Amino acid sequence: MFSYCSDPSVLEGFTWLSCYLTTGTHMLFYASFGTVLLVLAITAPVALLFGFGGAMAARSRIAPLRWLGKVYTSMVRGVPDIIFFLFVPIALDQGLEWLRSRFYCDPSVPVRQGNDFVVCAAAKLPLSSSPSWVHDIYGIALAIIAFSVVFGAFAANVLYGAMGAVPRAQIETAEAYGFTSRQINRRILLPQMWTYALPGLSNLWMILIKATPLLFILGVEDIVYWARELGGAKTRAFDYPHPDWRLYYFLGVLVFYLLMTWVSERLLDRVRARLSHGQATLAGEAMRKAAA
């Protein structure tokens, strides 16, 4: 990064530290913070869509659709999260490779050979000839899907309860005025349910933030991966030898997550106050009394 970093063996003090903190691996470490933020930015709305679909399915008058919604929320809720975080990427990866093997490989050759799952090179995802960034994006995409499936099930439970909390009298009044089910959902149910759903969704958002270190388990080079790699003791075989500094690296990761949760709490409090204004909820009643 700096011109004086050409020979690390002669560096001392601040110059050594400035060169050490601007190496290529450290740049990847800093970029991994962006990876975590990207995963959060994509996973949150996708999981909310999963949750909304699951909640609407669980409330459906069509029995098979209602059963599907309830099975989805109950199955994910009853299984440890780590199982789904590991199962979904593997299942998707092998499922996609199996489909590609039917077109690009000899169909007579079984993909299950003993305990191994083997497909020809043309069916691999991504291809072995693909650049490294394609492999990284593919791994992140699988991780996002796994997170979305799990947290979508929890969001479905929250939204389902929030829909049930909307006063039934309002819905019955709309029915008496001749509103269709679609009009009731669009004009009465959905606008008001967010007030009841926000506390639960806020908790899910905090849990999602704290779950992102699991990206390391899924093979994504996130901040936990790089904190472990960079913080470990380095011998004289490396350009910048140092003792075990993992404590300091993980302390930086800890500060990052504390800052993320603190900012999230401030923003969610503002959203909660805005949605509660004029609503017949405990938060809305507290705001009315405070104004009086």
Q: What is the DSSP code (8-state) at residue 129?
A: T
Q: Do the beta carbons of residue 211 and residue 228 sit within 8 Å?
A: no
The residues with which 261 forms a beta bridge, in sequence order, are none
* pLDDT of 287 higher than 60: no
CA distances from 250 to 27, 255, 257, 263 (A): 17, 9, 11, 20
> Please, what is the average pLDDT of the chain?
84
Helices marked H in 167-245 — which ranges?
168-176, 181-184, 190-211, 223-231
* Count of other CB atoms within 10 angstroms of residue 224: 20
SS3 category, 111: coil
Q: Indicate the pTM of the whole model.
A: 0.81
What's the pLDDT tens digit per position in 79-104?
787 888 888 888 888 888 888 888 88
Q: Do the beta carbons of residue 147 and residue 47 sit within 8 Å?
A: yes
Those residues with Cβ within 8 angstroms of residue 214's Cβ, 6 or more apart along the chain or in another chain: 81, 82, 85
What is the amino acid identity at position 6?
S
What's the pLDDT tens digit per position in 151-176?
998 999 999 888 888 888 888 888 88
What's the pLDDT tens digit per position in 252-267?
999 999 999 999 999 9
Q: Which helix (H) or strand (E) holds 36?
A: helix 24-58
- pLDDT above 70 as % of the chain: 93
Tokens of 139: 């791994």
- Distance of alpha carbon 77 from the chain centroid: 16
